[in-house]
A and B are shown apart, each in its own frame.
Chain A
Amino acid sequence: MPADTEVPPVVQMRGITIRFPGVLALDHVDLTLRPGEVHSLMGENGAGKSTLIKALTGVYPVDGGTITVTGTDRTFASTADAQAAGISTVYQEVNLCPNLSVGENVMLGHEPRRRGVIDWRATHTEAARHLEALHLDIDTRSPLSRHSIAVQQLVAISRAMVLDSKVLILDEPTSSLDRDEVDQLFGVVRDLRDRGVAILFVSHFLDQVYEISDRITVLRNGALVGEHAVADLPRDALVTKMIGRELHDLESLSRTAHRAVDRSGEPLLSARGIGRRGVLEPADLDVYPGEVVGLAGLLGSGRTELVRLLYGADRADVGHVSVRGERARMTSPRHAIDRRMAFSSEDRRGEGIVADLTVAENIVLGIQAQRGWARPIRRSERDAVVAEYIQALGVRPANPDAIVGNLSGGNQQKVLLARWLATAPELLVLDEPTRGIDVGAKADIQHKVSELSAQGLSVIFISSELEEVLRLAQRIAVLRDRRKIGELDSGQVDLDGLVDYLANAGKGSAA
């Protein structure tokens, strides 16, 4: 039951502002957590959710605003400070020591002692007591690594309760759990809520958010969109708030989606029932020559996971992939590259550019890898390729010897695109190629994708901006909660229709 607004809040964050060099990460954001309530924090990537959590847990100092915990103003210099104030966090990647026993993990830092040495019996008894309080029956003497991620997560929650926390932050706790495990976790969460703990829940799974939350705060681009009781916020309203609508100067871009694609022939790529346990439910996908297929879905819906399986970056445990009608073994990116596929990751800094190398070196990395060590690219050839792509994509500065790390995000993205285009692929997979880049670069990239697909390149395009997907793709595969829920023809749907489909289609059967 949602608690009354009159209950005095445990945590009040007012006007929180955090600046990173060149970026306003949070702009006067408020957040109120009340005891006995599950509060969901929602927003797309880059909305500022994790920054806000890190402000609350003392990881980042705030540049402006106040944090009040049970009526007193606090400044947290470290995570230990926040913990001492009763704020505990359970992270997505479980933050425990797998080499120690369950009981030791629960009591770490608070081991009962007798005559100067650890009293193991008391340690385990007390750990068992904390686990029992959450109705968990786990052998405290077993090593943590022997348990599933789900159980480890529950152990992490028990550990938070040892600290007598008033506020429990659950950051993407369900991202690697299956349905039964989520139910068990939610049972524990409800238990804690009923005992008066304030819970901040972050998840990309809409169904789960609606199942467990009493209240939702929405962030977008570092700013507060609003705080709502769950009952007052239907799903499509939430999705619209998260994605927002921006008036771009991109409207001029013709909707290539209306260009007819010949689907009579054989698909270039055809996936049947491809999936991986705990990552993606089996899904089908066809991509025809010259077609742009958009993948729409919120972050964590399985869109990145799907293309990683197609590309062989992750191994599928069911289903198969055919390229031009021929069964293909995709267990390594090399297999995909050999079949003329190219994959530009969403993690531009982590999996894309090599920040310390120059523009030219970054661009030729792909072709050189294809040719192997024995046949180096001649200097003149290299310069020609690099110059061509710098010009075609409008990389700024147009200097092949510039260090990529010093370029803006948009230009880094162009360099990445150039790397893959230089390998002359037949299928280009672009995962969030326009995230966090400026409008001009965004338009350049969209134009290039549209132009190349008209020349026969097949593209799988992933973006959190649904308008962009609608504009570029002829066909849109919609994913939610790690499941492909359907396909739409982009000529027959507008933004509202897509949002509605994304939020509501097949609901009920999902849970």
Chain B
Amino acid sequence: MTGIASIRELMTRNMRQSGIYIAFVLIIALFAILTDGLLLSPGNISNIVLQYSYILILAIGMVIVIIAGHIDLSVGSVVAFTGAVAATLVIKDGQPWWVGVVAALVVGLLVGAWQGFWVAFVGIPAFIVTLAGMLLFRGATLLVLDNISLSPFPREYGQIASGFQNGLIGGQGFDAFTLVVFGIAVAGYAFSQWRSRQAKLRYQQVVEAFPLFVLKIALTGAVVMWFAYQLATSRGLPNVLIILAVLIIVYGLVTNRTVFGRHVYAIGGNLSAAQLSGVKVKWVNFWIMTNMGFLAGVAGAVYSSRSNGAQPAAGNMFELDAIAACFIGGAAVTGGVGRVSGAMVGGLIMGVMSNGMQLMGIDQSVQQVVKGLVLLLAVAFDVYNKRRASGSR
């Protein structure tokens, strides 16, 4: 079973994972051409990150929920609710900005624990619990806000989503700090890839040829550094990107390396097997939902900061964007399969598409139609793949 795989083998071997990366590149290329390069301008790139950050944060929690075989329809309402609580404390009561942030996170946690209780211990399907939550927390938002919008936040609160780290260590016409951070990230990525390749070789698994491996790393590194340069020459490193990067790294570790994370996969793959193996299914389900609530709290803080206030209708339909990001990113409808990185790419595909279409001045209604079709195609591709796999066995 040892050996060196060619590019084609690598691509066909894991179409599900590599497929979305290819699709991502193609979509970027398509919209870059359609918008005459406007899509890839430095200002617009940092714009995409800012605009879609809260969807990406929600998608991190959502992919875990989906891997375990559940769904969460309430996150949009929870984003609104946590934002409303933060805004009430900071704007109305004049509390310092960090009290608002902590309040949003704590309220998110409590909401998640509430839903987790019904899902895990009472045994109501998450679809129903979160459908109820969607109504419940939208109503709670209206109550807290008394049906009116609150704004503006003090400057510090706005910095969460709209602020940048710029000029920390200087630079001539660009932000050196941004480049250094990204440089470290690329080096770390190359090192971890190298280690996992060594491990695979040790266990005599198929790996790509060494020149191909180097090419892959170099290409990824070049793209990332180019992205960094675009940020550095624009406004610097967005705070939101830092938050997002930390979350992605932490949750990447949680899903791949912790017992909790792997038990999520086990539950989604075969519930009764997990149960018979002694996995504490109820507690895992509880923490999955609690975690989703927490991340909705994070997204609530980021969103209210970005929109510089709290509105009764905030976060409307966010849950659908987050769910779509997971499925486009390769999560399986039946549970058990999915990755945080996939959900991120899925979210970015949605982001680039929306942004590209906005730049082209395409009507909102057409944008919805396109997004709907992309989601349907992505899941159809997944179902088709699975049928082919089970047929050949």
Contact = CB atoms under 8 A, between A and B. Distances in A.
Nearest to B336: A99
A80 B282 CA distance: 14
Interface string A131-169: 000000001110001001000000000010000000000
Interface string B369-393: 0000000000000000000010001
Contacts of B277: 108-109, 159
B274 interface: yes
A104 B268 CA distance: 14
Sorted nearest first, the 6 A-B pairs with minimum C-beta distance are A97-B269, A99-B336, A99-B269, A117-B257, A95-B273, A109-B278
B258 A83 contact: no
15 contacts: A80-B278, A95-B270, A97-B265, A98-B336, A99-B265, A100-B262, A104-B266, A108-B279, A109-B278, A109-B279, A117-B258, A120-B257, A139-B203, A139-B204, A145-B389
Secondary structure dominating the interface of B: helix
Contacts of B203: 124, 139-141
Nearest to A124: B203
Given A96-B273, A104-B262, A121 B199 contact: yes
Given A113-B259, A116-B258, A139-B1, A97 B337 contact: no
Interface string B247-275: 00000010001110010011011101111
A163 to B, nearest CB: 9
Interface of B: 1, 199-200, 203-205, 253, 257-259, 262, 265-266, 268-270, 272-279, 332, 336-337, 389, 393
Contact of B336 (A97, A117, A140): A97
Residue from B1, B200, B266, B337 with most neighbouring chain A CB atoms (10 Å)? B266
A100 B266 CA distance: 7
A136 to B, nearest CB: 15
Contacts of A111: 259, 262
Contacts of A159: 277
A280 B317 CA distance: 52
Interface in A81-106: 83, 89, 95-100, 104
A113 B268 CA distance: 22
Contact of B272 (A95, A117, A118): A95
Interface in A335-363: none
A331 interface: no
Interface of A: 79-80, 83, 89, 95-100, 104, 108-109, 111, 113, 116-118, 120-121, 124, 139-141, 145, 148, 159
B199 A100 contact: no
Contact of A97 (B204, B257, B270, B332): B270
Contacts of B332: 99
B273 A99 contact: no
B355 to A, nearest CB: 33
A116 B254 CA distance: 11
A118 B269 contact: no
A486 to B, nearest CB: 34
Contacts of A95: 270, 272-273, 276
A113 B205 CA distance: 23
A117 B261 CA distance: 10
A98 B272 contact: no
Nearest to A146: B393
A83 B278 contact: yes
Nearest to B67: A99
A149 B199 CA distance: 28
B274 A108 contact: yes
B274 A97 contact: yes
Nearest to A94: B273
A140 B205 CA distance: 11
Nearest to B202: A121
A113 B279 CA distance: 16
Contact of B269 (A100, A109, A120, A124): A100
A108 B266 contact: yes
Contact of B265 (A80, A100, A145): A100
A99 B337 CA distance: 7
A98 B269 contact: yes
A96 B272 CA distance: 8
A118 B278 contact: no
Contacts of A145: 389
Contact of A99 (B1, B268, B393): B268
Nearest to A121: B199
A98 B335 CA distance: 11
Contacts of A108: 262, 266, 273-274, 277, 279
A202 B336 CA distance: 31
Given A97-B336, A141-B200, 17 more contacts: A80-B278, A89-B276, A95-B273, A95-B276, A96-B270, A97-B274, A100-B266, A104-B266, A108-B273, A108-B277, A109-B277, A111-B262, A113-B259, A117-B258, A120-B257, A141-B203, A148-B393
Given A109-B278, A139-B1, A97 B258 contact: no
